[in-house]
A = this chain, B = another copy of it.
């Protein structure tokens, strides 16, 4: 874990630019014994050049053996001990779409779902309801008013939305209403502490009104809520590291975690790596630290699509010169966790990591960016929270400690 006090004392200004390029879920496994991983199978001449010139290693985002969720995985990359600094999913989702969640507010993430005639869930995502169908439903729900609390409801993406309640005496210690299975009804919002009972009551009243407003919809006739949480009041990244930091990410949740640590969040068009790199170019002079997030690698992993994951990595590699042409001083390529297509889910496997910094890196003898090359790299296996000080140092942004 990063010593924030030390960072605040040692950081100094420099004209250098740092890029943290997060390939979500990049780590993988062979489909069959003896084969390559997704990353090893991909043709990636640009990443391999960075690997040849830079240093490789493996990071543990949380602890060895622990599979990271996306929130904790990103907090670790930003240098925050993800066990000390917990962030709820509701807050991540809401702040990701620009909703304000102040200390004392309670945010929840919502899903549209489908109930049968008996009130049992038959589809937890309402057939992956599309955004154009979800938006009018969210508009209906946003008309709901309750005495004693202010409510904001916004659509996020597809079948997902966020609800934020603001008022006196609200507490987020409420269990998810999503039972995480079909064939059973949604749970009510259940307070986990006495002081959260009032808040749970507000949410249950809201759920009841919301469901009566959408009851006639053939697919999305009910909702579930989860990740009840409030602003975690995190130390602020720009102040800790003395950088002007920006997030270039398309997905709400990564924008959310960036906003919570105090990064600027950049809006841009398109969702390909090329679009994100062009967007970074547009604001290159305005920031020192660029967190660029590539989502679809993880999505392919979660779909169990080995070849698809290879292709997205290759697309990223083709686009990479657009980023490198900006002449960054430090580029760190890593992930917030592994998502082997073979496992179809996040995993605990340490994440292949590349640190490129032509001015100060000592190249190891590895010539490709891949899991087994990284296991042999000169950075070793280390906690993800060590990356920020390393990036800062290679960007000439940290003073000597002691005389």
List 5 other contacts, CB 8 Å, given A82-B401, A362-B371, A379-B381: A33-B53, A66-B398, A67-B400, A346-B400, A375-B378
Task: Tell me which residues across on chain B come within 8 A of A69, comparing CB atoms.
Answer: 400-403
| Docked pose: A83 CA to B6 CA in angstroms | 9
Q: How far is the CB of A177 from chain B (nearest CB, A)?
A: 15
Q: Is A105 an interface residue (CB 8 A)?
A: no
Cβ 8 A contact of A65, one of B30, B392, B402: B392
Please tell me if the beta carbons of A66 and B386 are within 8 angstroms of each other in the complex: no
CB pair A380–B378 under 8 Å, yes or no, is: no
Q: Residue A284 at the B interface, CB < 8 A?
A: no
A interface SS class: loop
Q: A6-B83, A72-B402, A82-B401 are contacts. A375–B364 as well, Cβ < 8 Å? A: yes
Residues of B within 8 A of A33 (CB): 53, 358, 363
Q: Does A155 contact B (CB under 8 A)?
A: no
Q: Quick one: which of B67, B87, B403 contacts A401, CB cutoff 8 A? A: B67
> Are B347 and A360 in contact, with the CB atoms below 8 A?
yes
A37 interface hit (Cβ, 8 Å): yes
| 4 interchain residue pairs of minimum CB distance | A65-B389, A69-B402, A375-B378, A89-B403
Q: What size tier do the contact residues of chain A reach?
A: 35 or more
Bound CA–CA A391/B82 (angstroms): 22
What is the minimal beta-carbon distance from A94 to any residue of chain B, in angstroms? Answer: 13
Q: What is the minimal beta-carbon distance from A292 to any residue of chain B, in angstroms?
A: 21
**Would you give the shortest CB distance from A179 to chain B, in whole angstroms?**
16
Query: Does chain B have a CB within 8 A of A206?
Result: no
What is the distance, in angstroms, from A48's C-beta to the closest C-beta of chain B? 16
Max count, chain B CB within 10 A of own CB: residue among A92, A371, A376: A376
CA–CA, A364 to B6, complex, Å? Answer: 36
Scoring A86, A92, A381 by chain B CB atoms within 10 A of each residue's CB, the highest score goes to A381
Q: Please tell me if A250 contacts chain B, counting CB pairs below 8 Å.
A: no
A63 at the interface (CB under 8 A from B): yes
- Tell me if B83 and A403 are in contact (CB < 8 A): no
Interface flag for A196 (CB, 8 Å) = no
Residue of B nearest to A37 (CB): B362
Residues of B within 8 A of A402 (CB): 68-73, 82, 86-87
Contact status B30-A362, CB under 8 Å: yes
CB of A64 within 8 Å of the partner chain: yes
Give the complex CA separation of A82 and B401 in angstroms: 9
Most central of A69, A86, A227 by chain B CB within 10 Å? A69
Is there a chain B Cβ closer than 8 Å to A189's Cβ? no
Question: CB-nearest residue of chain B relative to A229?
Answer: B403
Partner of A70, one of B30, B381, B403: B403
Q: What residue of chain B has the Cβ atom nearest to residue A378's Cβ?
A: B375
A200 an interface residue at 8 Å Cβ cutoff?
no
Q: Which of A23-69 contact B (CB under 8 A)?
A: 29-30, 33-34, 37, 53, 58, 62-69
Is there contact, CB below 8 Å, between A386 and B347? Answer: no
**What residues on B are CB-neighbors of A58 within 8 Å?**
378, 380
Whether the Cβ atoms of A386 and B37 lie closer than 8 Å is no
Residue A4 is within 8 A (CB to CB) of chain B in the complex: no
Closest residue on chain B to residue A379 by CB atoms: B381
